[in-house]
Structure 1
Amino acid sequence: MRSESNNPRIVYMGTPEFAVPPLKALIKEGYEIVGVVTVADKPAGRGRNLKESAVKKCARKHDLNVLQPLNLKNDEFIAALKALNADLFIVVAFRMLPEAVWSIPPFGTFNLHGSLLPKYRGAAPIHWAIINGETKSGLTTFLLDHKIDTGGTLLQIEQNIQPGTTTGTLYTELMALGPDLVLRTAKGLLEGNLKPVSQNDNNASHAPK
């Protein structure tokens, strides 16, 4: 069941800087972010001090509830997610989720991926687009399923790749496009106006890390 409040409840999952702008956009739009899931703090630098993910830093600035599970299949973690009574889960640059997680919310779980799926499924789509000399890239939102980046697509946005574009440049360009696509996808799913379209596996390519 959807939460009683008219304000949709969202759990957001992500780790690097790429995932920060969509989170900020959701907060600004007024969605109730009831939980932010990110990786555990990791030792870094000479002093081996614990380093927080970019998403955790953003979440703490906005006083959001942060969860940092070591095991995504952990019963206590899954129970904690269910207790948040979220309408929708949104994933940007995180980890592959088990069905016990992505099947929880009534409106599903969608992911923002850095390619025009079904091209460049996998962990490094931006790198492989540059390596292979593509002239066009983009972003795709899709519903999670049992395999990696194979779920029904929801929305896409294209980005031309100019001569001389580097991986870093394309990363920055796509990062700037992410918030709008995430907002439009969330709105469409929550209002029932957006339906997934099956990917054509014959057109698929892969982007391993």
Structure 2
Amino acid sequence: MRKLIASVAAFVAFAGIASSALAQTAVTGSAPAGEKKAAMCIGCHSIPGYQASFPEVHKVPMIAGQGAKYIQSALNAYKTGDRKHPTMKAIAGSLTDQDIADLAAYYETLPAEKSALGDKPSHEPSTEVAELLKKGNCVSCHGNNFSKPIDGTYPKLAGQHADYLYVALKAYQTKDNPQVGRANPVMGGMATQFSHAQLKEIAKYIGSLDTELHVVPQARFKSNETHVK
């Protein structure tokens, strides 16, 4: 199974690189333009500690500092329905390809001051979690420090909110649900190997790592920082 997942991952990575290159040729994102278009994003992604209630209560993902190609890929997946989420589908469906490229370019530039991570994770997992990560072959796509994906269409994971990671991983296991689920052959094959308890342990470890991802509050939300750790 591990060899099969690795082979599929390599194929999808190649396909992702090719499709991303074509997309970049067709549409070039502008960070300044994206900043002007981000009003629909800041109500969730720019509030420290903000939690969504669907499909269960969890912190919304940090997108500031995420790779532009991944943000484009994710928004397009919501737009096409490969990722099922009523709110995100409605938002993504209202965006043009240029809008998506601009928003992705903007969030990749955040925050203004960046600190690079080392090549290894900031701390090692327990023996049990290490075995789960090895079984899932996670570093083959997301990098040894979980923040250097082999292709830009894959996300940085290190330090992402653990409860969001858990919900996302479960979504790859979900079938035949019109409102919840994610279609991705690599992630689907990986996630189905694990119980929910094991997915939670994976998410907890990856979420505990040092990160390049952030919540960057807009001016009207900065007062919330004093109330949320």
Calculate the TM-score normalised by the size of structure 1: 0.28
Q: Which has the higher strand share?
A: 1
More relative contact order, 1 or 2 (CA 8 Å, 6+ apart): 2
The structure with more helix, counted as a fraction of residues? 2
Q: TM-score, normalised by structure 2?
A: 0.27
